[in-house]
Structure 1
């Protein structure tokens, strides 16, 4: 189905140090040059990793698309919350 550029950029709008990269109609999400997840069908998915699990323990794991590994689908309401979450997962500040 694909996520329009405007939708993908709106999801991460206001979050510093984020870069999106188009990939087969969807978007890869990088924070401080580290790959964290994807935006697919207008929804943010974060990789299930040992570093992300402690910060996303109450967040459901769902498959972004058929055949994909399950990923966390956080319900983040603001750029500030998303920035804090990304910073915790990456584990370092610039």
Structure 2
């Protein structure tokens, strides 16, 4: 079951106080970007956060799940928990690097 565009928009609405948010559809689900940094996965209408040392203390009591086949376990985020988002989103934005630009494959 894939995620709806409406749910991805809802996730962006929830984290928009922390910066510019957008989502990108990938294989029926979504990657959510904050200030152009990929911070959240939304798969099957569930929000996932990569397990990182910087997020372990904040999400220690959050359930874990696998967002897609072959992925490592991620934290499952309650996207409506404003108190948690107030602490988590600045951390994710600070530690997540901008994606590298892909090299052009066109030849002159």
Normalization by structure 1: what TM-score?
Answer: 0.78
- Corresponding residue of 1:54: 57
Matching of residue 71 in structure 1 with residue 74 in structure 2? yes
Cα displacement (A) at 1:79:
5.5
Tell me how far apart the structure 2 counterparts of residues 74 and 14 of structure 1 sit (CA, whole Å): 12
Aligned residues: 92
Structure 1 spans left out of the alignment, 5+ residues: none
Instruction: Compare CA radii of gyration and give the structure with the larger one.
Output: 2
1:1-94 equivalences in 2 (<5 Å) = 1-16=1-16, 17-78=20-81, 81-91=84-94
CA separation of 1:78 and 1:5: change in aligned 2, threshold 3 A: same
Structure 2 SS opposite 1:21: strand
Q: Which has the larger helix fraction?
A: 2
What is the CA RMSD across the aligned residues, in angstroms? Answer: 2.2
Tell me how far apart the structure 1 counterparts of residues 37 and 56 of structure 2 sit (CA, whole Å): 16
Tell me how far apart the structure 2 counterparts of residues 90 and 14 of structure 1 sit (CA, whole Å): 15
Normalization by structure 2: what TM-score?
Answer: 0.70
Cα displacement (A) at 1:40:
0.6
Tell me how far apart the structure 2 counterparts of residues 43 and 55 of structure 1 sit (CA, whole Å): 18
Stretch moving more, 43-52 or 10-19: 10-19
Structure 2 spans left out of the alignment, 5+ residues: 96-108
